[in-house]
Amino acid sequence: MTRNPGMGAATRDTILRLAADQASVEGLGGLSIGQLATQLGMSKSGLFAHFGSKERLQLATIEDARRRYVEAVLVPALRAPRGIRRLDALCDSFLSYVERAVFPGGCFFAAAMAEFGGKEPGPVRDKIADCQRQWTATLQRAADAARDCAELMDACETEQLAFELEAALLSANWYVRLYDDPSYFDRARHAVRSLLEAGSTPTGRQALP
Amino acid sequence: MTRNPGMGAATRDTILRLAADQASVEGLGGLSIGQLATQLGMSKSGLFAHFGSKERLQLATIEDARRRYVEAVLVPALRAPRGIRRLDALCDSFLSYVERAVFPGGCFFAAAMAEFGGKEPGPVRDKIADCQRQWTATLQRAADAARDCAELMDACETEQLAFELEAALLSANWYVRLYDDPSYFDRARHAVRSLLEAGSTPTGRQALP
DNA sequence: CCTTGTTTAGCACGATCGTTCGTGCTAAAC
DNA sequence: GTTTAGCACGAACGATCGTGCTAAACAAGG
């Protein structure tokens, strides 16, 4: 294993990539420093030195996962034009991100939310909640924009709509994995379509692909 | 501790009740035989002898949780009259079950589904999938009955409806805990109402409370 | 060549994990 | 009164957990 100075950051990235992959399957709590080290062919203490504590490893893992999430979900979707099409693109982009197995265990943050939701507060839980809030807010802002474009009806409650969209996306993430049945992606797309059509104006309905 | 013969089953029940409570928070994998024993004031080996392996403890815990689930969610809801009102009662009963904290970590099976969804197949995962399938099927059968009563439209796709209802219920379970914000129960009730109204006939809409 | 700072390895620690074993106690069966 | 079965105990096993401490390998700057 190359051990150049300045390579520390690269090693760190390698560790975090594997850590996020692992955490999406085993959970952030199930992350094992020893197992990570073995899989990377390095020593436990050498890996540990990069973070100083398991909690800091978890926090760094979340940040790495967030970067990958932005890259895989937000960046592609934000190329869609403002309005109902971007809202639709966000949902589709999320489903595609689960489908492409960007993380091998499905959505990293869904897994983390389920794992830490009921736990006592702490830095890790707070960061997870923060990430989740940010994603929901992104959905809602897209819905607000669509309403401003008159593609969603004025009466549309965007916060409620964001909740219902998220619900369909998350459930697809769970069911696809539990039943090993990708048809739940179609179910989620169907649900998203229903929700968008129900809230859209004629203009908006026409804008939908 | 009383140690009469015939008390074994009662002790087992006590263990399983605590185990299910704990698993709803820490996950089935996070169940620790030592911690359970300590909390119950008994020895690790004594507790262990009831099950023979951790996996069998997990399986027994799932069965106990299923009994409590049936008691807390299904039994009350099945008192509602067949049709759309029973479908609505099932959803409301689920939300109430989470709200009353029948399990301290929220819905036991939601937590287990999230934890074992991405894992390699095995007896535990299979049992969880089985429980989840049963609950979804219950929802769908209630929807079928409502359609047979002409309270839901003939065109209503009951499988899709069951998925969308479940999605709202599950998401409330996650968000309420992650954000410690019970208003997500209302959001879920709102979503359930929208879905039922959208699929219902005039007769059905009138039957809704 | 020597120093300096960064990065990794080696080794050991206390704790906890699931599991096994032998034992003791009590109530029931004979 | 003797035997059997049920139930729980305490001690110990090997493995793995997160976490320290120390030293070696390395690249760069003087």
Q: Please state, in angstroms and rounded to a whole number, the distance separating the CA atoms of residues A166 and B17.
A: 33
Give tens-digit pLDDT for A48-63. 999 999 999 999 999 9
Instruction: Using CB atoms within 10 Å of the CB of residue B134, give its burial: 0 to 12 exposed, 13 to 18 middle, 19+ buried.
Output: middle
A45 touches strand C (CB under 7 A): yes
d(CA B178, CA A113): 7
pLDDT grade for A71, boundaries at 50, 70 and 90: very high
Q: Which residues of B97-115 are buried (b: 16+ CB within 10 A; e: fewer)?
A: bbeeebbebbbbbbbbbbb
Residue A6, pLDDT > 80, answer: no
Counting Cβ atoms within 10 Å, is residue A15 exposed (0-12), middle (13-18) or buried (19+)? buried
Structure tokens at B6: 């015939």
Give me chain B's average pLDDT, please: 95
The whole-angstrom separation of Cα B89 and Cα B81 is: 9
In contact, A152 and A199? CB cutoff 8 Å: yes
Give the A-side interface with B, CB within 8 Å. 24-25, 27, 29-30, 104-106, 110-111, 113-119, 125, 128-129, 132-133, 160, 163-164, 166-168, 170-171, 174-175, 177-179, 184, 187, 190-191, 194, 198
Mapped onto helix, strand or coil, the DSSP state of residue B53 is coil
The b-or-e profile of A82-114 (16+ CB within 10 A means b, else e) is ebbbbbbbbbbbbbbbbeeebbebbbbbbbbbb
Best CA proximity match to B192, nearest among B155, B137, B131, B142 = B142
pLDDT at B207: 95
**Whole-Å CA distances, A191 to A100, A138, B108, B144:** 20, 19, 25, 19
Mutate to test the interface with A, among B164, B165, B185 (most CBs of A within 10 A): B164
Local confidence band at B130 (pLDDT 50, 70, 90 cut-offs): very high
Q: Which of A25, A29, A117 sits opposite B118 (nearest CB)?
A: A25
Kindly report the three-state secondary structure assignment for every residue of chain A: CCCCCCCHHHHHHHHHHHHHHHHHHHCCCCCCHHHHHHHHCCCHHHHHCCCCCHHHHHHHHHHHHHHHHHHHHHHHHCCCCCCHHHHHHHHHHHHHHHHCCCCCCCCHHHHHHHHHCCCCCCHHHHHHHHHHHHHHHHHHHHHHHHHHCCCECCCCCHHHHHHHHHHHHHHHHHHHHHHCCCHHHHHHHHHHHHHHHHHECHHHHHHCC
* pLDDT band with cut points at 50, 70 and 90 for residue A2: very low
**CA-based nearest residue to A97, from A124, A125, A63, A68:** A68
pLDDT in tens, A123-174: 999 999 999 999 999 999 999 999 999 999 999 999 999 999 999 999 999 9
What does the pLDDT read at residue A9? 79
Select from B108, B178, B180, B181 the residue whose CB has the most chain A CBs within 10 Å, as the one to mutate to test that interface: B178
Does A4 score more than 70 pLDDT?
Answer: no
Write the residue in B105, B132, B174 that is nearest to A113 by C-beta.
Answer: B174
Distance linking the first and last C-alpha atoms of chain B:
50
CB contact under 8 A, A191 and B167: yes
Give the containing element (helix H, strand E) for B135. helix B123-148
Mean pLDDT in residue range B4-32: 90
Judge: B117–A174 Cβ closer than 8 Å, yes or no: yes
- Cβ within 8 Å, pair B129-A179: yes
Min Cα distance A8 → chain B (Å) is 31
Cα distances from B151 to residues A28, B73, B88, B137, B138, in angstroms, run 45, 23, 12, 19, 17
Q: Which residues pair with B200 in a beta bridge?
A: B152
* Contact flag B111-A118 (C-beta cutoff 8 Å): yes
Question: Does A36 score more than 50 pLDDT?
Answer: yes
Rounded (10°) angle between helices B8-26 and B54-69:
90
**Which residue of A124, A164, A185 is the best one to mutate when testing the B interface, meaning the one whose CB has the most B CBs within 10 A?**
A164
Among all protein residues, pick the one whose CA is nearest to the C1' atom of D5.
B5
Report if CB A46 to strand C is under 7 Å.
yes
Tell me the sheet residues that pair with A200: A152
* Nucleotides in D strand less than 7 A from protein CB: 5-12, 16-22, 25-28
Does B36 score more than 80 pLDDT? yes
Nucleotide showing the shortest C1' distance to residue A6 CA: C6
pLDDT-based confidence at residue A3 (cuts at 50, 70, 90): very low
Q: Could you tell me if residue B119 is left (phi over 0), alpha (psi between -120 and 50 degrees) or otherwise beta?
A: beta
User: What pLDDT digit, counting tens, does each position of A99-130 carry?
Assistant: 999 999 999 999 999 999 989 899 999 999 99
Tell me the two tokens of residue B46: 């004594």
Position A1 scores a pLDDT of 37
Inspect the interface and report whether the beta carbons of A167 and B167 lie closer than 8 Å: yes
